[in-house]
Chain A
């Protein structure tokens, strides 16, 4: 960058915890530091639940941090301010307003007179390529066009910083690419006064295509795991070796295990100890299908994750959920961007349906503390029955309400498959009995 760079946004020692009940709180973001300078695009990359969206909302002034401070041009942010605008994953368009009215909305809020509103809105619509759709309602438009309206609405207020919350993840790949290119065009032509873009994404390639810096988050609580600089000229060639190298670097950083443990066969595996571990939301059928794929002769012992994601056309989020599930169940282990099945993983994949259930059950009991806990409670109870609320309350000690019910749902799904216990949906009761 030839021009002098200034720091626009500074995030200093920000933590966020959500209150639960009187005493307890749940830490989502832990002591984050970050700065956004003029002339750069920064991507926040992480699995879902890593708090990157929360951080974006703290910067936007929508959520206030529990500790620490965010400043914009030196002034602390306590609420939404002019100069920052936001693009949403779900577009967040007002369905009862036309494209033009949607774009004008931010100007209305600023009290700008009608004639000027119209001129500026039409200009923004023109820049973003929505000519001819001014009087259309959002529901008449395709996803890509809707997000263009979202862009125009964010642009029309002439922001210095654009905050983007997974803006392309609700679009199909082709549309997403098209819109990404247009965004880069806008950025490089300097048709707007945007000095910096902060984009949240869980798409690794997208981050590498767009960003000058990629900040990788780890989950529970959200922390910065590391930062990767992308010093490649735009437009970037995704087949380029340097580009592939950066993708590999990101995978390596994202799969770097913090605490390696040694498994039964001397392998490095991931061990979880808490009942309230945030289990990955993966269905058993996905898991078995994924195991079969990894076990198929098409792949070697060690499989490169970027390659796998490409082959299975899996979203990175889905891929990491699957690999995490395999890891905690000790069916596979992941390191340096590669995945490798364990001996148990191979046996499972080769077994028949009944045997599979047996192996799955024994791994659940052995490696998933929550499953072990539920089983023990049911064994100890005289009627071998327990209300799901009992476990829910326990989980809520360690997780947010939402996460707790999700985790319980996952373990019920897994446990039912493994025939560890039965579940009555209407009564909300877990039991050891088989249904009548």
Chain B
């Protein structure tokens, strides 16, 4: 094959085709297995289905691998859609000022809408879109996972595109790359480290929603998609502790697998896109990459992929050059000026109409007094979120500093915490119900920790990372000045880790808001515990299918999150990046 020989010539490598090795066999099994599984999953997703029909879920642990696979598949599809969305919308926002003014505030609002709120609203629409097929609920679940993943990815991509170094931009222009080539050769690779990091964050965070979105009750209709989430829902319904344990084990295996198969290879691959190798620690190693490097045929097909990739980037149709704009005539200028004004008028009109419709829809059945009550519920949940973020800060700042100061401990603790962060904590909720019921505890108080159970790890992780990132000479200076006790905390550690802590706390607060929808209503068999709060309100309205009240609840939660962001987190973040930044 001529293509391969050329590569050999360029890379000075062995030209001889060796006999297949064990590596080849393992890799072959991996690839064939993946293909078979994908076909199986696709078949399962397109099964005929009518609303109201029960979908059989079995608690037999034999079925768990298949259920887990279906859940992973949903996650994967959502991720692909998220990436497409990111490439298109993120690029549009970065390249066009007019699009930017509309997209960025929209994402800001969209990401403060509780993720599970999307589910209740969209599932009916999706079922109507695909009548007589399970594809409707499937897509609703995938859509929810998508909304849990996509916003931070798009924002990160947009911010990266906005900060492509001027010299590289100029080089791309002098070399006369087409817009298509420029995107794949300059923009996308430059944004890759930030994007991949956000992909990993998103995937970790979205397990929670995968589990929560598979078994849903909307409008008194129970839909259970085959998946690990439905398995857990059934286990909770039947109060089957064994099944819960099986599910936890299965989830553990899934996360371990994708950590090994996906995150580690990605982590190693990211290094290629970084400008300089900054980290002193040895680059992360991955057995999957080793495997792919050792299996000859995989390497060859890898090269084949490179050739295809190059063809894709240089696809003739997309080689249209950006035409150098000659000076605009006055007439053209006024036309483009006019169309811009028109665009904004349309945008504002659409916004007003949408708002009016929403208000009319909500207040056609909800009284102002009830709206006031829902706002109060929102306040209760806001108080809970704040208290829990504070509580986990009080626990994790000292603990994180302790760990961060001991490199050997940190090396062990960091992967564990990363792992814990991606574990869907809703699996542990039944245990809390059990405790509350057994000891007769107050639901309003004791359901609160569940909200932060998953989100606390972001604080822990960031505090540890912050301590590690503090320069050694600062540690030594603090030591030689004999800073001790409170002074050491006040003048050295706390300001030092502040930027990291703020980042962690913002993520944790967001996670807690999202979790409130699940954490304020707890079920175990025939036991139903309901805490006072906005999350419980949204869940209950969703179950009975009262859409005006559901919309009200979601809007108010969205409002609270936005206010917290503007009043508290943004200023703190600005302070962190300005005054407390080490650079």
B50 lies within 8 A of chain A by Cβ = no
Give min CB distance, A76 to chain B, whole Å.
Answer: 9
Query: A111 and B319 in contact (CB under 8 A), knowing A82-B176, A135-B10?
Result: yes
Q: A80-B173, A80-B176, A118-B10 are in contact. Are A105 and B316 (CB under 8 A)?
A: no
Residues of B within 8 A of A78 (CB): 324-326
Given contacts A61-B324, A106-B176, A109-B176, contact A92 B167 (CB under 8 A): yes
Verify B177–A92 contact, CB threshold 8 A.
Answer: no
Question: Secondary structure of the A side of the interface?
Answer: loop
Instruction: Verify B170–A118 contact, CB threshold 8 A.
Output: no
Q: How far is the CA of A157 from the CA of B176 in the complex (A)?
A: 11
Q: Can you identify 12 A-B contacts, CB atoms within 8 angstroms?
A: A62-B170, A62-B173, A78-B324, A78-B325, A80-B175, A86-B170, A94-B168, A96-B189, A100-B10, A109-B178, A109-B181, A134-B11
- Contact call A88/B177, Cβ cutoff below 8 A: no
In the assembled complex, B185 has its CB within 8 A of some CB on chain A: yes
Given A78-B325, A92-B165, A92-B168, 10 more contacts at CB 8 Å? A57-B170, A61-B174, A61-B324, A78-B326, A86-B174, A88-B167, A108-B310, A108-B314, A135-B11, A426-B578
Nearest Cβ on chain B to A17's Cβ, whole angstroms: 15
Q: In whole angstroms, what is the CA distance A150 to B323 when docked?
A: 25
Check: B411 CB closer than 8 A to any chain A CB: no
A94 to B165, CA, bound (A): 11
B310–A114 touching, CB < 8 Å: yes
- The number of A-B residue pairs with CB atoms under 8 Å apart is 93
A110 within 8 A of B: yes
A365 to B311, CA, bound (A): 66
Neighbouring B residues of A115 by C-beta, 8 Å? 6
Compute how far the CA of A106 lies from the CA of B173 in the bound complex, rounded to whole angstroms.
Answer: 10
Residues from 248 to 306 in B contacting A, C-beta threshold 8 Å: 272-277
Give every chain B residue within 8 A of A226 (Cβ-Cβ).
none
**A88-B167, A96-B273 are contacts. A105–B177 as well, Cβ < 8 Å?**
yes
Cross-chain contact A111 with B314 (CB below 8 angstroms): yes
Is A317 close to B, CB under 8 A? no
A68 within 8 A of B: no
CB neighbours of A88 from chain B (8 A): 167, 170-171
C-alpha spacing A78/B272, complex, angstroms = 36
How far does the Cβ of A91 sit from chain B's closest Cβ, in whole Å? 8
Nearest chain A CB to B573 CB, angstrom units: 15
User: What residue in chain B is nearest A140 (Cβ atoms)?
Assistant: B277
**Is A19's CB within 8 Å of the partner chain B?**
no
List 8 A-B pairs, minimum CB-CB distance, nearest first.
A79-B324, A92-B171, A92-B167, A106-B175, A78-B324, A96-B189, A86-B174, A109-B177
Identify the closest chain B residue to A76 (Cβ): B326
Chain B 50-71: CB-based contact to A (< 8 A → 1; otherwise 0): 0000000000000000000000
| Bound-complex Cα distance A84 to B175 (A) | 9
Q: Does B186 contact A (CB under 8 A)?
A: yes
Q: Is A97 an interface residue (CB 8 A)?
A: yes
Residues of A within 8 A of B10 (CB): 100, 118, 122, 134-135
Shortest distance from the beta carbon of B329 to any chain A beta carbon, whole Å: 15
Cα distance A157–B171 in the bound complex, in angstroms: 13
Q: A88-B171, A105-B177, A118-B6 are in contact. Are A139 and B276 (CB under 8 A)?
A: yes
A50 sits at the interface (CB 8 A): no
A89 contact set on B, CB distance < 8 A: 167
Interface check A187, CB cutoff 8 A: no
Q: Is A263 interfacial (CB-CB < 8 Å)?
A: no
A60 within 8 A of B: yes
**A95 CB-CB contact with B under 8 Å:** yes
| B478 interface contact, C-beta 8 A | no
Q: How large is the interface on B (under 10, 10 to 19, 20 to 34, 35 or more residues)?
A: 35 or more
Q: Which residues of A contact B579 (CB under 8 A)?
A: 426
Verify B177–A96 contact, CB threshold 8 A: no
> Which among A96, A122, A139 has the greatest number of chain B C-beta atoms within 10 A?
A96
- 1/0 per residue, CB under 8 A from A, across B180-223: the answer is 01000110010010000000000000000000000000000000
Chain A residues with CB below 8 A from B323, complex form:
79
Residue among B168, B277, B325 having the largest count of chain A Cβ atoms under 10 Å: B168
**Chain B CB within 8 A of A137 CB:** yes
Q: Check if A92 sits within 8 Å of B176, measured CB to CB.
A: no
Residues of A within 8 A of B178 (CB): 109
Give the chain B neighbours of A79 by CB distance below 8 A. Answer: 173, 322-324
Return chain B residues, CB-CB under 8 Å to A106: 175-176
Question: Is B313 at the interface (CB under 8 A from chain A)?
Answer: yes
CB B220 to nearest CB in A, in angstroms, measures 53
A95 near B170 with CB under 8 A, answer no
Q: Select from chain A the residue with minimum beta-carbon distance to B326.
A: A78
Q: Which residues of chain A from 53 to 73 have a CB within 8 Å of any chain B CB?
A: 57, 60-62
Nearest A residue to B323 by beta-carbon distance?
Answer: A79
Q: Of B181, B272, B316, B322, which one neighbours A96 at CB under 8 angstroms? A: B272
Q: Given A90-B167, A96-B189, A111-B319, A105 and B175 touching (CB < 8 A)?
A: yes
Across-interface contacts of B6 in A (CB, < 8 A): 115, 118
Q: Is the CB of B275 within 8 A of A139?
A: yes
Contact between chains at B174 and A85 (CB < 8 Å): yes
Q: Decide: A80 near B174, CB < 8 A? Known: A92-B167, A108-B314.
A: yes
Chain A neighbourhood of B177, CB < 8 A: 105, 108-109
Chain A residues with Cβ below 8 Å from B168 are: 92, 94
Q: For window 134-173 of chain A, which residues contact chain B by CB distance below 8 Å?
A: 134-135, 137, 139, 153, 157
In residues 34-68 of chain A, which contact B (Cβ within 8 Å)?
Answer: 57, 60-62
Tell me how far the C-beta of A174 lies from the nearest C-beta in chain B, rounded to whole angstroms. Answer: 23
Closest to B311 in A: A114
B167: chain A residues at CB < 8 Å are 88-92
Chain B residues with Cβ below 8 Å from A84 are 174
Contacts of A111 in B (CB 8 A): 314, 316, 319
Closest Cβ neighbor of B190 among chain A residues: A96
How long is the Cα–Cα vector from A109 to B165 in the complex, in angstroms? 20
Cα A114 to Cα B307 in complex, Å, equals 9
Q: In the bound complex, what is the Cα–Cα distance between A288 and B322 (angstroms)?
A: 52
B167: nearest chain-A partner, CB-CB: A92
Pairwise interchain contact B181-A108, C-beta atoms closer than 8 A: yes
One digit per residue, 1 when the CB lies within 8 angstroms of any chain A CB and 0 when it does not, for chain B 489-507 equals 0000000000000000000
Closest partner residue, chain B, to A89 (CB atom)? B167
Which of B275, B319, B324, B578 sits near A95, CB closer than 8 Å? B275
Smallest CB separation, B179 vs chain A (Å): 11
Q: How far is the CA of A430 from the CA of B170 in the complex (A)?
A: 39
Measured between C-beta atoms, what is the minimum distance from B94 to chain A in Å? 18
CA A115 to CA B9, docked complex, whole Å: 12
- Nearest A residue to B168 by beta-carbon distance? A92
Docked complex Cα distance between A211 and B176 (Å): 28
Q: What are the residues of chain A within 8 A of B186 when measuring CB–CB?
A: 94
Bound Cα distance from A108 to B309, whole angstroms: 13
Q: Give A106 to B326 CA distance when docked, in angstroms.
A: 24
Q: Which residue of B lies closest to A90 (CB)?
A: B167
B12 to A: closest C-beta gap in Å: 8
B314 to chain A, nearest CB (A): 6
B173: chain A residues within 8 A (beta carbon): 61-62, 79-80
Contact A94 B176 (CB under 8 A): no
Q: In the complex, A115→B3 CA distance in Å? A: 9
8 A Cβ contacts from A85-129 to B: 85-86, 88-97, 100, 105-106, 108-111, 114-115, 118, 122
A62-B175 in contact (CB<8A): no
Closest to B272 in A: A96
Give the distance in Å from the alpha carbon of A96 to the alpha carbon of B189 in the complex.
7
Q: Can you name the residue of chain A whose Cβ is closest to the Cβ of B275?
A: A95
CB–CB B316/A109 < 8 A = no
| Nearest CB of chain A from residue B480's CB, rounded to whole Å | 25
Write the nearest CB–CB distance from B191 to chain A, whole angstroms: 11
**Which chain A residue lies CB-closest to B274?**
A95
Q: Does the CB pair A137–B176 fall under 8 Å?
A: no
Q: How far is the CB of B546 from chain A (nearest CB, A)?
A: 50
Contact B176 A110 (CB under 8 A): yes
A403 to B319, CA, bound (A): 39
Query: For residue B274, which residues in chain A have a CB less than 8 angstroms away from its CB?
Result: 95
Known interface pairs A78-B326, A135-B11. Does A62 touch B314 (Cβ–Cβ under 8 Å)?
no
Least distance between A101 CB and chain B CB atoms (Å) = 9
